[in-house]
Structure 1
Amino acid sequence: MALALSKRLGGLSMAAKESQSPSLPETGLLLVGMGMGRLEGMTTEAIQAATQADHRRYEAYTALWPEDELARLEATVGPVQRVMRPEVEEPEELFALAKDSLVALLVVGDPLQATTHVDLQLRAREAGIECHVFHGISITSVVTGAVGLSNYKFGRQTTLTYPYGDWIATSPMEVLAANWEQNLHTLALLDLDPTGLGTGDQRPMRPEDAVQSMRLMWEKLQETVDEPLSEDYVRLAFRQMATKLYLQQNFDDIPVVLCADMGTPEQAIVTTTLGALGDEKGGRLNSLVFPAGTGEVEEKAVLRWKRGE
Protein backbone atom coordinates (compact mmCIF):
# COMPACT_ATOMS: atom_id res chain seq x y z
CA MET A 1 0.00 0.00 0.00
CA ALA A 2 1.18 3.55 -0.67
CA LEU A 3 0.04 6.96 0.52
CA ALA A 4 -1.51 8.98 -2.27
CA LEU A 5 -2.86 12.51 -2.33
CA SER A 6 -6.63 12.66 -2.47
CA LYS A 7 -7.61 15.30 -5.03
CA ARG A 8 -11.20 15.29 -3.83
CA LEU A 9 -10.48 15.82 -0.13
CA GLY A 10 -7.15 17.59 -0.39
CA GLY A 11 -5.61 15.14 2.04
CA LEU A 12 -4.03 11.71 2.19
CA SER A 13 -5.69 8.42 1.33
CA MET A 14 -4.50 4.82 1.22
CA ALA A 15 -4.31 3.42 -2.30
CA ALA A 16 -2.86 0.21 -3.63
CA LYS A 17 -0.05 0.63 -6.13
CA GLU A 18 -1.72 -2.01 -8.23
CA SER A 19 -4.73 -4.24 -7.81
CA GLN A 20 -4.04 -7.71 -6.53
CA SER A 21 -5.21 -10.64 -8.65
CA PRO A 22 -7.41 -13.13 -6.81
CA SER A 23 -5.64 -16.23 -5.53
CA LEU A 24 -7.05 -19.11 -7.55
CA PRO A 25 -6.44 -22.85 -7.69
CA GLU A 26 -4.88 -24.47 -10.75
CA THR A 27 -8.05 -26.43 -11.44
CA GLY A 28 -11.72 -25.95 -10.65
CA LEU A 29 -14.81 -23.99 -11.61
CA LEU A 30 -15.22 -20.22 -11.37
CA LEU A 31 -18.73 -18.76 -11.38
CA VAL A 32 -18.14 -15.22 -12.59
CA GLY A 33 -20.78 -12.48 -12.47
CA MET A 34 -20.71 -10.28 -15.57
CA GLY A 35 -22.92 -7.48 -14.29
CA MET A 36 -25.61 -5.75 -16.26
CA GLY A 37 -24.45 -5.46 -19.85
CA ARG A 38 -21.10 -3.79 -20.29
CA LEU A 39 -17.48 -4.43 -19.42
CA GLU A 40 -17.28 -1.47 -17.04
CA GLY A 41 -20.02 -3.06 -14.92
CA MET A 42 -17.89 -6.09 -14.04
CA THR A 43 -15.85 -5.99 -10.87
CA THR A 44 -12.08 -5.87 -11.22
CA GLU A 45 -11.86 -9.19 -9.38
CA ALA A 46 -14.31 -10.83 -11.81
CA ILE A 47 -12.33 -9.64 -14.83
CA GLN A 48 -9.09 -10.87 -13.30
CA ALA A 49 -10.60 -14.26 -12.52
CA ALA A 50 -11.89 -14.64 -16.08
CA THR A 51 -8.48 -13.64 -17.43
CA GLN A 52 -6.67 -16.23 -15.31
CA ALA A 53 -8.99 -19.08 -16.35
CA ASP A 54 -7.79 -21.61 -18.91
CA HIS A 55 -11.27 -21.88 -20.43
CA ARG A 56 -14.11 -19.36 -20.49
CA ARG A 57 -17.75 -20.25 -21.09
CA TYR A 58 -20.47 -17.62 -21.50
CA GLU A 59 -23.88 -18.83 -20.29
CA ALA A 60 -26.25 -17.30 -22.84
CA TYR A 61 -29.70 -18.61 -22.02
CA THR A 62 -30.74 -16.92 -18.75
CA ALA A 63 -29.68 -13.43 -19.91
CA LEU A 64 -27.65 -11.79 -22.67
CA TRP A 65 -24.96 -9.18 -23.21
CA PRO A 66 -24.77 -6.99 -26.34
CA GLU A 67 -22.54 -8.53 -29.00
CA ASP A 68 -20.22 -5.51 -29.12
CA GLU A 69 -19.66 -5.75 -25.36
CA LEU A 70 -18.92 -9.46 -25.67
CA ALA A 71 -16.26 -8.58 -28.23
CA ARG A 72 -14.74 -6.08 -25.81
CA LEU A 73 -14.81 -8.70 -23.06
CA GLU A 74 -12.99 -11.21 -25.25
CA ALA A 75 -10.38 -8.61 -26.14
CA THR A 76 -9.81 -8.11 -22.41
CA VAL A 77 -9.93 -11.62 -20.91
CA GLY A 78 -9.36 -13.94 -23.88
CA PRO A 79 -11.54 -16.18 -26.08
CA VAL A 80 -15.02 -16.98 -24.76
CA GLN A 81 -17.20 -19.88 -25.88
CA ARG A 82 -20.98 -19.58 -25.71
CA VAL A 83 -22.92 -22.35 -23.92
CA MET A 84 -26.64 -22.90 -23.55
CA ARG A 85 -29.00 -24.68 -21.20
CA PRO A 86 -27.97 -28.30 -21.90
CA GLU A 87 -24.29 -27.63 -21.20
CA VAL A 88 -25.12 -26.03 -17.84
CA GLU A 89 -27.85 -28.40 -16.67
CA GLU A 90 -25.87 -31.43 -17.85
CA PRO A 91 -22.38 -30.22 -16.91
CA GLU A 92 -20.31 -33.34 -17.58
CA GLU A 93 -18.15 -31.52 -20.13
CA LEU A 94 -17.66 -28.53 -17.82
CA PHE A 95 -16.72 -30.80 -14.93
CA ALA A 96 -14.32 -32.84 -17.06
CA LEU A 97 -12.49 -29.63 -18.00
CA ALA A 98 -12.58 -28.34 -14.42
CA LYS A 99 -10.87 -31.46 -13.07
CA ASP A 100 -7.74 -30.77 -15.12
CA SER A 101 -7.86 -27.00 -15.70
CA LEU A 102 -9.44 -23.77 -14.49
CA VAL A 103 -12.84 -23.06 -16.08
CA ALA A 104 -14.75 -19.79 -15.79
CA LEU A 105 -18.50 -19.81 -16.37
CA LEU A 106 -19.49 -16.22 -17.14
CA VAL A 107 -23.05 -15.39 -16.09
CA VAL A 108 -24.89 -12.14 -16.79
CA GLY A 109 -25.76 -10.34 -13.55
CA ASP A 110 -24.91 -12.33 -10.43
CA PRO A 111 -23.83 -15.95 -10.94
CA LEU A 112 -26.00 -17.29 -8.11
CA GLN A 113 -29.23 -15.44 -8.84
CA ALA A 114 -30.71 -18.38 -10.77
CA THR A 115 -31.37 -21.75 -9.12
CA THR A 116 -29.69 -23.36 -12.14
CA HIS A 117 -26.31 -21.99 -11.10
CA VAL A 118 -26.76 -22.78 -7.41
CA ASP A 119 -27.48 -26.36 -8.47
CA LEU A 120 -24.32 -26.32 -10.59
CA GLN A 121 -22.32 -25.12 -7.58
CA LEU A 122 -23.70 -27.92 -5.40
CA ARG A 123 -23.06 -30.57 -8.04
CA ALA A 124 -19.49 -29.36 -8.47
CA ARG A 125 -18.97 -29.81 -4.74
CA GLU A 126 -20.39 -33.33 -4.89
CA ALA A 127 -18.02 -34.11 -7.78
CA GLY A 128 -15.04 -32.92 -5.74
CA ILE A 129 -14.47 -29.85 -7.92
CA GLU A 130 -13.37 -26.67 -6.19
CA CYS A 131 -15.77 -23.83 -6.99
CA HIS A 132 -15.20 -20.10 -6.48
CA VAL A 133 -17.84 -17.38 -6.89
CA PHE A 134 -17.29 -13.81 -8.07
CA HIS A 135 -20.49 -11.88 -7.57
CA GLY A 136 -21.86 -9.27 -9.95
CA ILE A 137 -24.45 -6.51 -10.07
CA SER A 138 -27.85 -7.98 -10.89
CA ILE A 139 -31.19 -6.70 -12.15
CA THR A 140 -32.76 -7.30 -8.73
CA SER A 141 -30.34 -4.94 -7.02
CA VAL A 142 -30.46 -2.25 -9.71
CA VAL A 143 -34.16 -1.94 -10.53
CA THR A 144 -35.59 -1.12 -7.12
CA GLY A 145 -33.33 1.85 -6.51
CA ALA A 146 -33.41 3.07 -10.10
CA VAL A 147 -37.21 3.13 -10.23
CA GLY A 148 -37.46 4.70 -6.79
CA LEU A 149 -39.48 2.09 -4.91
CA SER A 150 -38.51 0.84 -1.47
CA ASN A 151 -36.57 -2.41 -1.61
CA TYR A 152 -38.29 -3.47 1.62
CA LYS A 153 -41.68 -3.41 -0.08
CA PHE A 154 -40.98 -5.90 -2.87
CA GLY A 155 -42.53 -9.34 -2.77
CA ARG A 156 -41.61 -12.47 -4.65
CA GLN A 157 -40.33 -11.80 -8.16
CA THR A 158 -41.54 -13.70 -11.20
CA THR A 159 -40.82 -14.22 -14.90
CA LEU A 160 -43.33 -13.62 -17.68
CA THR A 161 -43.00 -16.46 -20.17
CA TYR A 162 -43.97 -16.86 -23.78
CA PRO A 163 -46.99 -19.12 -24.34
CA TYR A 164 -45.82 -22.48 -25.69
CA GLY A 165 -48.47 -23.85 -28.03
CA ASP A 166 -51.68 -24.22 -26.02
CA TRP A 167 -49.83 -24.03 -22.70
CA ILE A 168 -50.18 -20.74 -20.84
CA ALA A 169 -48.45 -20.33 -17.49
CA THR A 170 -50.68 -18.40 -15.09
CA SER A 171 -48.36 -18.55 -12.07
CA PRO A 172 -46.67 -15.20 -12.89
CA MET A 173 -49.98 -13.36 -12.59
CA GLU A 174 -50.87 -15.32 -9.45
CA VAL A 175 -47.57 -14.20 -7.90
CA LEU A 176 -48.33 -10.63 -8.94
CA ALA A 177 -51.81 -10.84 -7.42
CA ALA A 178 -50.54 -12.31 -4.13
CA ASN A 179 -47.95 -9.54 -3.82
CA TRP A 180 -50.51 -6.86 -4.68
CA GLU A 181 -52.92 -8.15 -2.03
CA GLN A 182 -50.12 -7.79 0.54
CA ASN A 183 -49.29 -4.28 -0.72
CA LEU A 184 -45.96 -5.48 -2.12
CA HIS A 185 -44.38 -4.40 -5.40
CA THR A 186 -43.45 -7.02 -8.00
CA LEU A 187 -40.43 -7.30 -10.28
CA ALA A 188 -41.25 -9.33 -13.39
CA LEU A 189 -38.39 -10.49 -15.58
CA LEU A 190 -39.19 -11.21 -19.23
CA ASP A 191 -38.57 -14.44 -21.12
CA LEU A 192 -35.79 -14.71 -23.70
CA ASP A 193 -36.73 -17.89 -25.50
CA PRO A 194 -40.00 -18.43 -27.41
CA THR A 195 -39.18 -22.16 -27.71
CA GLY A 196 -38.61 -22.75 -23.99
CA LEU A 197 -35.73 -25.11 -24.82
CA GLY A 198 -32.80 -22.85 -23.95
CA THR A 199 -30.77 -24.08 -26.91
CA GLY A 200 -30.61 -20.93 -29.03
CA ASP A 201 -32.82 -18.91 -31.37
CA GLN A 202 -33.51 -16.46 -28.58
CA ARG A 203 -35.73 -13.42 -28.94
CA PRO A 204 -35.97 -11.38 -25.75
CA MET A 205 -39.57 -10.51 -24.96
CA ARG A 206 -40.63 -7.02 -26.01
CA PRO A 207 -43.24 -4.88 -24.23
CA GLU A 208 -45.96 -5.89 -26.70
CA ASP A 209 -45.10 -9.57 -26.15
CA ALA A 210 -45.41 -9.09 -22.39
CA VAL A 211 -48.85 -7.52 -22.76
CA GLN A 212 -50.04 -10.35 -24.99
CA SER A 213 -48.73 -12.95 -22.54
CA MET A 214 -50.44 -11.24 -19.61
CA ARG A 215 -53.75 -10.95 -21.47
CA LEU A 216 -53.69 -14.69 -22.10
CA MET A 217 -52.99 -15.33 -18.41
CA TRP A 218 -55.78 -12.95 -17.44
CA GLU A 219 -58.29 -14.68 -19.73
CA LYS A 220 -57.30 -18.15 -18.55
CA LEU A 221 -57.60 -17.20 -14.88
CA GLN A 222 -61.01 -15.67 -15.53
CA GLU A 223 -62.22 -19.17 -16.42
CA THR A 224 -61.58 -20.48 -12.90
CA VAL A 225 -61.89 -17.37 -10.76
CA ASP A 226 -65.31 -18.33 -9.37
CA GLU A 227 -64.32 -21.83 -8.28
CA PRO A 228 -64.70 -22.53 -4.52
CA LEU A 229 -61.74 -21.64 -2.34
CA SER A 230 -59.61 -24.50 -1.09
CA GLU A 231 -60.66 -25.69 2.36
CA ASP A 232 -57.55 -27.82 2.85
CA TYR A 233 -54.70 -25.42 2.11
CA VAL A 234 -54.63 -21.91 3.53
CA ARG A 235 -51.94 -20.69 1.15
CA LEU A 236 -53.83 -21.95 -1.88
CA ALA A 237 -57.02 -20.30 -0.64
CA PHE A 238 -55.16 -17.01 -0.17
CA ARG A 239 -53.72 -17.21 -3.68
CA GLN A 240 -57.17 -17.92 -5.11
CA MET A 241 -58.73 -15.00 -3.24
CA ALA A 242 -55.89 -12.63 -4.16
CA THR A 243 -56.22 -13.59 -7.83
CA LYS A 244 -59.98 -13.07 -7.75
CA LEU A 245 -59.58 -9.59 -6.27
CA TYR A 246 -56.80 -8.69 -8.70
CA LEU A 247 -58.94 -9.66 -11.69
CA GLN A 248 -61.63 -7.22 -10.59
CA GLN A 249 -59.42 -4.40 -11.85
CA ASN A 250 -59.49 -3.03 -15.37
CA PHE A 251 -56.58 -4.77 -17.12
CA ASP A 252 -55.68 -1.73 -19.22
CA ASP A 253 -55.51 0.58 -16.17
CA ILE A 254 -53.02 -1.47 -14.14
CA PRO A 255 -49.88 0.63 -13.55
CA VAL A 256 -46.53 -0.75 -14.65
CA VAL A 257 -42.99 0.56 -14.95
CA LEU A 258 -40.98 -0.54 -17.99
CA CYS A 259 -37.26 -0.90 -17.27
CA ALA A 260 -35.11 -1.26 -20.38
CA ASP A 261 -31.39 -2.06 -20.64
CA MET A 262 -30.80 -1.37 -16.96
CA GLY A 263 -27.26 -0.65 -15.86
CA THR A 264 -26.14 0.39 -19.34
CA PRO A 265 -25.81 3.79 -21.05
CA GLU A 266 -29.05 2.97 -22.92
CA GLN A 267 -31.03 2.55 -19.68
CA ALA A 268 -34.60 3.83 -19.97
CA ILE A 269 -37.51 3.80 -17.50
CA VAL A 270 -41.14 4.55 -18.38
CA THR A 271 -44.13 4.59 -16.04
CA THR A 272 -47.26 3.63 -17.96
CA THR A 273 -50.21 1.21 -17.84
CA LEU A 274 -50.73 -2.27 -19.24
CA GLY A 275 -53.07 -0.80 -21.83
CA ALA A 276 -50.34 1.50 -23.16
CA LEU A 277 -47.32 -0.73 -22.53
CA GLY A 278 -47.53 -2.35 -25.96
CA ASP A 279 -46.88 1.03 -27.58
CA GLU A 280 -43.48 1.28 -25.91
CA LYS A 281 -40.46 0.19 -27.93
CA GLY A 282 -38.44 -0.96 -24.94
CA GLY A 283 -34.81 -1.96 -25.28
CA ARG A 284 -32.55 -4.93 -25.86
CA LEU A 285 -33.53 -6.52 -22.52
CA ASN A 286 -36.63 -5.44 -20.61
CA SER A 287 -38.19 -6.03 -17.22
CA LEU A 288 -41.36 -4.76 -15.58
CA VAL A 289 -42.15 -3.43 -12.12
CA PHE A 290 -45.73 -3.52 -10.87
CA PRO A 291 -46.12 -1.01 -8.02
CA ALA A 292 -48.54 -1.77 -5.21
CA GLY A 293 -49.46 0.95 -2.71
CA THR A 294 -46.85 3.72 -2.74
CA GLY A 295 -45.74 6.17 -0.10
CA GLU A 296 -45.31 9.87 -0.83
CA VAL A 297 -41.65 9.61 -1.85
CA GLU A 298 -42.26 6.45 -3.87
CA GLU A 299 -45.18 8.07 -5.67
CA LYS A 300 -43.09 11.06 -6.72
CA ALA A 301 -40.25 8.81 -7.77
CA VAL A 302 -42.45 6.64 -9.99
CA LEU A 303 -44.38 9.54 -11.55
CA ARG A 304 -41.18 11.20 -12.79
CA TRP A 305 -40.86 8.40 -15.37
CA LYS A 306 -44.23 9.13 -17.02
CA ARG A 307 -44.14 10.41 -20.58
CA GLY A 308 -44.28 14.20 -20.62
CA GLU A 309 -43.37 14.60 -16.94
Structure 2
Amino acid sequence: MLTFVGLGLYDERSVTVAGRDAIQDADRVFAEFYTSRLVGTDLETLEASLGTTIEVRDRAGIEQNPEPILAAAESEDVVFCTAGDTMVSTTHTDLRLRAEDRGIQTRIVHGTTAQTAAGSLTGLQNYRFGKATTLPFEDAHGGDGVPDSVVATIEDNRARDLHTLVYLDIKVDDPHWDESDDTYMTASHAAELLSKPFPDTLGVVVARAGSPDPLVVADTLDDLAEQTFGEPLHLLVIPGSLHPLEADVLESTAGADLE
Protein backbone atom coordinates (compact mmCIF):
# COMPACT_ATOMS: atom_id res chain seq x y z
CA MET A 1 0.00 0.00 0.00
CA LEU A 2 1.22 3.49 -0.86
CA THR A 3 -0.64 6.33 0.87
CA PHE A 4 -0.11 9.92 -0.23
CA VAL A 5 -0.52 12.39 2.64
CA GLY A 6 -0.73 16.16 2.34
CA LEU A 7 0.83 17.80 5.42
CA GLY A 8 -0.98 21.13 5.12
CA LEU A 9 0.42 24.60 4.84
CA TYR A 10 2.64 25.68 7.68
CA ASP A 11 3.98 23.48 10.49
CA GLU A 12 3.77 20.08 12.19
CA ARG A 13 0.24 20.87 13.42
CA SER A 14 -1.17 21.46 9.95
CA VAL A 15 -1.65 17.81 9.03
CA THR A 16 -5.17 16.39 9.39
CA VAL A 17 -6.05 13.76 11.98
CA ALA A 18 -6.51 11.25 9.16
CA GLY A 19 -3.07 12.12 7.79
CA ARG A 20 -1.44 11.78 11.21
CA ASP A 21 -3.08 8.39 11.69
CA ALA A 22 -1.85 7.16 8.31
CA ILE A 23 1.71 8.30 9.07
CA GLN A 24 1.79 6.75 12.52
CA ASP A 25 0.40 3.45 11.22
CA ALA A 26 2.92 3.21 8.36
CA ASP A 27 5.94 0.92 8.27
CA ARG A 28 7.99 3.54 6.42
CA VAL A 29 7.46 7.23 5.70
CA PHE A 30 8.98 9.11 2.79
CA ALA A 31 8.67 12.81 1.93
CA GLU A 32 9.83 15.46 -0.49
CA PHE A 33 10.13 19.17 0.26
CA TYR A 34 11.34 20.60 -3.05
CA THR A 35 7.90 21.41 -4.52
CA SER A 36 6.81 23.21 -1.35
CA ARG A 37 7.86 23.50 2.28
CA LEU A 38 6.49 23.65 5.80
CA VAL A 39 8.32 26.83 6.71
CA GLY A 40 6.98 26.89 10.27
CA THR A 41 8.83 23.76 11.36
CA ASP A 42 11.88 21.62 10.67
CA LEU A 43 12.40 17.94 10.00
CA GLU A 44 13.36 17.05 13.58
CA THR A 45 10.28 18.73 15.02
CA LEU A 46 8.04 17.17 12.40
CA GLU A 47 9.36 13.69 13.15
CA ALA A 48 8.99 14.19 16.90
CA SER A 49 5.42 15.42 16.52
CA LEU A 50 4.42 12.53 14.27
CA GLY A 51 6.39 9.91 16.19
CA THR A 52 8.21 8.53 13.18
CA THR A 53 11.33 8.73 11.04
CA ILE A 54 10.90 10.48 7.70
CA GLU A 55 13.10 9.54 4.77
CA VAL A 56 13.48 12.73 2.71
CA ARG A 57 13.95 12.26 -1.02
CA ASP A 58 15.31 14.89 -3.39
CA ARG A 59 13.96 15.61 -6.88
CA ALA A 60 16.05 12.90 -8.51
CA GLY A 61 14.98 10.45 -5.82
CA ILE A 62 11.33 10.96 -6.77
CA GLU A 63 11.37 11.63 -10.49
CA GLN A 64 14.29 9.48 -11.62
CA ASN A 65 14.78 6.85 -8.94
CA PRO A 66 11.53 6.16 -7.06
CA GLU A 67 12.43 2.45 -6.76
CA PRO A 68 13.08 2.47 -2.97
CA ILE A 69 9.58 3.86 -2.37
CA LEU A 70 7.85 1.52 -4.80
CA ALA A 71 9.77 -1.57 -3.67
CA ALA A 72 8.89 -0.86 -0.04
CA ALA A 73 5.21 -0.31 -0.90
CA GLU A 74 4.99 -3.73 -2.56
CA SER A 75 5.34 -5.48 0.80
CA GLU A 76 4.85 -2.78 3.46
CA ASP A 77 2.49 0.03 4.41
CA VAL A 78 4.26 3.11 3.04
CA VAL A 79 3.35 6.80 3.29
CA PHE A 80 4.64 9.49 0.96
CA CYS A 81 4.26 13.03 2.39
CA THR A 82 4.27 16.44 0.76
CA ALA A 83 3.55 19.93 2.00
CA GLY A 84 0.12 21.30 1.14
CA ASP A 85 -2.18 18.84 -0.57
CA THR A 86 -0.84 15.81 -2.31
CA MET A 87 -1.32 15.33 -6.09
CA VAL A 88 -1.10 19.06 -6.80
CA SER A 89 2.27 18.40 -8.45
CA THR A 90 2.46 16.15 -11.52
CA THR A 91 5.52 14.56 -9.89
CA HIS A 92 3.24 12.97 -7.32
CA THR A 93 0.71 11.87 -9.93
CA ASP A 94 3.49 10.15 -11.83
CA LEU A 95 4.58 8.29 -8.70
CA ARG A 96 1.02 7.13 -8.09
CA LEU A 97 0.71 5.87 -11.67
CA ARG A 98 3.98 3.97 -11.36
CA ALA A 99 2.66 2.32 -8.21
CA GLU A 100 -0.65 1.37 -9.84
CA ASP A 101 1.22 -0.10 -12.83
CA ARG A 102 3.04 -2.43 -10.41
CA GLY A 103 -0.19 -3.51 -8.75
CA ILE A 104 0.39 -1.44 -5.62
CA GLN A 105 -2.79 -0.19 -4.02
CA THR A 106 -2.79 3.58 -3.44
CA ARG A 107 -4.91 6.03 -1.50
CA ILE A 108 -4.89 9.77 -0.82
CA VAL A 109 -5.25 11.73 2.43
CA HIS A 110 -5.72 15.37 1.55
CA GLY A 111 -4.23 18.44 3.19
CA THR A 112 -5.11 22.12 2.98
CA THR A 113 -4.03 23.79 -0.26
CA ALA A 114 -2.56 27.21 -0.86
CA GLN A 115 -5.27 27.84 -3.43
CA THR A 116 -8.18 27.35 -1.05
CA ALA A 117 -6.38 29.26 1.69
CA ALA A 118 -5.79 32.19 -0.64
CA GLY A 119 -9.48 32.37 -1.46
CA SER A 120 -10.47 32.16 2.18
CA LEU A 121 -8.01 34.79 3.41
CA THR A 122 -8.64 37.31 0.63
CA GLY A 123 -12.41 36.89 0.42
CA LEU A 124 -12.12 36.35 -3.34
CA GLN A 125 -14.73 33.84 -4.41
CA ASN A 126 -13.32 30.41 -5.12
CA TYR A 127 -15.36 29.77 -8.26
CA ARG A 128 -14.02 32.98 -9.84
CA PHE A 129 -10.40 31.79 -9.93
CA GLY A 130 -9.14 30.82 -13.36
CA LYS A 131 -6.01 28.92 -14.29
CA ALA A 132 -3.17 29.34 -11.79
CA THR A 133 0.42 30.02 -12.82
CA THR A 134 3.90 29.97 -11.29
CA LEU A 135 6.26 32.91 -11.56
CA PRO A 136 9.86 31.64 -11.76
CA PHE A 137 13.06 33.40 -10.83
CA GLU A 138 14.56 35.12 -13.86
CA ASP A 139 17.55 32.80 -14.09
CA ALA A 140 15.30 29.75 -13.79
CA HIS A 141 13.73 30.29 -17.21
CA GLY A 142 16.77 31.68 -18.99
CA GLY A 143 15.38 35.13 -19.66
CA ASP A 144 14.55 38.49 -18.19
CA GLY A 145 11.29 39.60 -16.68
CA VAL A 146 8.13 37.53 -16.83
CA PRO A 147 7.76 34.49 -19.12
CA ASP A 148 5.24 34.90 -21.93
CA SER A 149 3.26 31.93 -20.60
CA VAL A 150 2.68 33.68 -17.25
CA VAL A 151 1.58 36.89 -18.96
CA ALA A 152 -0.76 34.94 -21.25
CA THR A 153 -2.38 33.12 -18.31
CA ILE A 154 -3.08 36.36 -16.45
CA GLU A 155 -4.35 38.10 -19.60
CA ASP A 156 -6.64 35.18 -20.47
CA ASN A 157 -8.10 35.10 -16.96
CA ARG A 158 -8.63 38.87 -16.92
CA ALA A 159 -10.35 38.68 -20.32
CA ARG A 160 -12.80 36.20 -18.76
CA ASP A 161 -13.10 38.32 -15.60
CA LEU A 162 -11.38 35.70 -13.44
CA HIS A 163 -8.82 35.95 -10.66
CA THR A 164 -5.30 34.54 -11.12
CA LEU A 165 -3.40 32.81 -8.33
CA VAL A 166 0.33 33.27 -8.88
CA TYR A 167 2.55 30.77 -7.09
CA LEU A 168 6.02 32.13 -6.38
CA ASP A 169 9.17 30.19 -7.15
CA ILE A 170 11.14 28.25 -4.55
CA LYS A 171 14.80 27.71 -5.44
CA VAL A 172 16.12 24.70 -3.55
CA ASP A 173 19.88 24.24 -3.83
CA ASP A 174 20.01 21.49 -1.22
CA PRO A 175 17.11 19.01 -1.34
CA HIS A 176 17.38 18.28 2.37
CA TRP A 177 15.84 20.16 5.29
CA ASP A 178 18.21 23.15 5.42
CA GLU A 179 16.56 26.58 5.43
CA SER A 180 19.82 28.41 4.78
CA ASP A 181 20.15 26.91 1.32
CA ASP A 182 16.65 27.84 0.15
CA THR A 183 15.56 30.97 -1.65
CA TYR A 184 11.90 31.93 -1.67
CA MET A 185 10.62 34.51 -4.12
CA THR A 186 9.02 37.33 -2.18
CA ALA A 187 5.73 38.94 -3.10
CA SER A 188 7.48 42.30 -3.50
CA HIS A 189 9.86 40.78 -6.06
CA ALA A 190 6.94 39.18 -7.87
CA ALA A 191 4.99 42.43 -7.86
CA GLU A 192 7.97 44.28 -9.29
CA LEU A 193 8.25 41.78 -12.14
CA LEU A 194 4.52 41.75 -12.88
CA SER A 195 4.15 45.54 -12.69
CA LYS A 196 6.00 45.80 -16.02
CA PRO A 197 3.42 43.93 -18.15
CA PHE A 198 0.55 44.94 -15.83
CA PRO A 199 1.06 48.57 -14.71
CA ASP A 200 -1.51 50.17 -12.39
CA THR A 201 -3.02 46.76 -11.70
CA LEU A 202 -4.46 45.60 -8.38
CA GLY A 203 -2.60 42.78 -6.66
CA VAL A 204 -3.27 40.94 -3.41
CA VAL A 205 -0.41 39.50 -1.36
CA VAL A 206 -1.00 36.49 0.87
CA ALA A 207 1.87 35.72 3.26
CA ARG A 208 2.19 32.73 5.60
CA ALA A 209 -1.17 31.15 4.84
CA GLY A 210 -1.96 28.52 7.45
CA SER A 211 0.19 30.16 10.12
CA PRO A 212 -1.05 31.89 13.29
CA ASP A 213 -0.22 35.28 11.72
CA PRO A 214 -1.16 35.30 8.01
CA LEU A 215 -0.95 38.62 6.22
CA VAL A 216 -3.15 39.90 3.39
CA VAL A 217 -2.34 43.19 1.65
CA ALA A 218 -4.05 44.65 -1.42
CA ASP A 219 -2.54 47.49 -3.46
CA THR A 220 -1.30 48.24 -6.95
CA LEU A 221 1.54 46.02 -8.10
CA ASP A 222 3.82 49.07 -8.27
CA ASP A 223 3.14 49.89 -4.62
CA LEU A 224 3.36 46.26 -3.48
CA ALA A 225 6.83 46.11 -5.04
CA GLU A 226 7.98 48.74 -2.52
CA GLN A 227 6.68 46.89 0.56
CA THR A 228 7.94 43.98 2.62
CA PHE A 229 5.76 41.14 3.86
CA GLY A 230 7.91 39.21 6.32
CA GLU A 231 8.74 35.54 6.38
CA PRO A 232 7.74 33.12 3.59
CA LEU A 233 5.80 31.61 2.00
CA HIS A 234 4.19 34.31 -0.16
CA LEU A 235 1.51 34.16 -2.85
CA LEU A 236 0.20 36.83 -5.18
CA VAL A 237 -3.30 37.13 -6.60
CA ILE A 238 -4.19 39.26 -9.62
CA PRO A 239 -7.96 39.79 -9.35
CA GLY A 240 -10.44 40.21 -12.13
CA SER A 241 -13.24 42.70 -11.52
CA LEU A 242 -14.51 42.55 -7.96
CA HIS A 243 -17.95 41.55 -6.76
CA PRO A 244 -19.14 44.14 -4.19
CA LEU A 245 -18.70 41.61 -1.40
CA GLU A 246 -15.14 40.84 -2.55
CA ALA A 247 -14.37 44.55 -2.64
CA ASP A 248 -15.72 45.01 0.88
CA VAL A 249 -13.50 42.21 2.22
CA LEU A 250 -10.37 43.56 0.54
CA GLU A 251 -11.05 47.03 1.88
CA SER A 252 -11.72 45.86 5.43
CA THR A 253 -9.11 43.13 5.83
CA ALA A 254 -6.40 43.90 3.26
CA GLY A 255 -6.27 47.69 3.34
CA ALA A 256 -7.35 48.06 -0.29
CA ASP A 257 -8.07 51.59 -1.52
CA LEU A 258 -10.41 50.82 -4.39
CA GLU A 259 -11.23 54.44 -5.11
The equivalent position to 1:263 in structure 2, one of 210, 213, 218, is: 210
Q: Quick check: which has more Rg, 1 or 2? A: 1
**Conservation of the 8 A alpha-carbon contact between 1:159 and 1:191:** yes
Partner of 2:27: 54
Please name the residue that 2:244 is paired with.
296
Q: 8 Å contact 1:87–1:94 — kept in the other structure?
A: no
Question: 1:163: Cα distance to partner?
Answer: 1.4
Deviation per CA, 1:130-189: give whole Å up to 9, x if none: 212111111111111210111121111111111126435221121011101111011111
Does the residue aligned with 1:193 lie in a helix, a strand or coil? strand
Q: Which runs of 5+ in 2 are unaligned?
A: none
Question: What residue in structure 2 maps to residue 277 of structure 1?
Answer: 224
Alignment partners' CA distance in 2, 1:299 and 1:76? 40
Which residue identity is paired with 1:55?
A: R
Deviation at 1:129, TM superposition (A): 1.7
What secondary structure does 1:41 align onto? coil
Question: Among 168, 182, 186, which residue is 1:202 paired with?
Answer: 182
- Secondary structure of 1:303's partner? helix
Q: List aligned pairs for 1:87-166, cutoff 5 A.
A: 87-90=61-64, 91-164=66-139, 166=142
1:222 aligned partner: none
Structure 2 Cα separation of the partners of residues 56 and 213 of structure 1: 39
Corresponding residue of 2:11: 38
Instruction: Tell me, yes or no, if the aligned pair for 2:191 and 2:224 is still in contact at 8 Å.
Output: yes
- For 2:56, give the aligned amino acid: R
Distance 2:227 2:2 in 1: 41
CA, structure 1 residues 68+194, in 2 after alignment: closer, same or farther (shift >3 Å)?
A: closer
Kept after mapping to 1: 8 A contact 2:192/2:221 = no
> What is the aligned counterpart of 1:187 among 132, 148, 165?
165
Segments of 4+ moved more than 4 angstroms: none
Displacement, 1:263? 1.2
Matched to 1:167, the amino acid is G
SS in 2 for 1:87: helix
2:87 is matched by which residue type in structure 1?
L
Q: Could you say what secondary structure the match of 2:45 adopts?
A: helix
Q: Percent identity?
A: 28
Q: TM-score, normalised by structure 1?
A: 0.74
RMSD of aligned residue pairs (Cα, Å) = 2.3
Distance 1:56 1:280, change over 3 A: farther
Partners in 1 of 2:250 and 2:205 — Cα distance? Answer: 11
Q: Separation in 2 of the partners of 1:67 and 1:184?
A: 31
Equivalent residues in 2 for 1:10-21, closer than 5 Å: none
Q: CA deviation at 1:103?
A: 2.0
1:212 positional shift: 4.4
CA distance in 2, matches of 1:58, 1:67: 16
AA paired with 1:51?
Answer: Q
Gap runs ≥5 in structure 1 = 1-27, 219-246
Residues paired across the two proteins, number: 247
- Larger relative contact order, structure 1 or 2 (CA cutoff 8 Å, min sep 6): 2
Instruction: Give CA-to-partner distance per residue, 1:191-233, whole Å, 9 cap, x none.
Output: 10177xx846431111233134436xx5xxxxxxxxxxxxxxx
Q: How far apart, CA to CA, are the structure 2 residues paired with 1:173 and 1:84?
A: 30
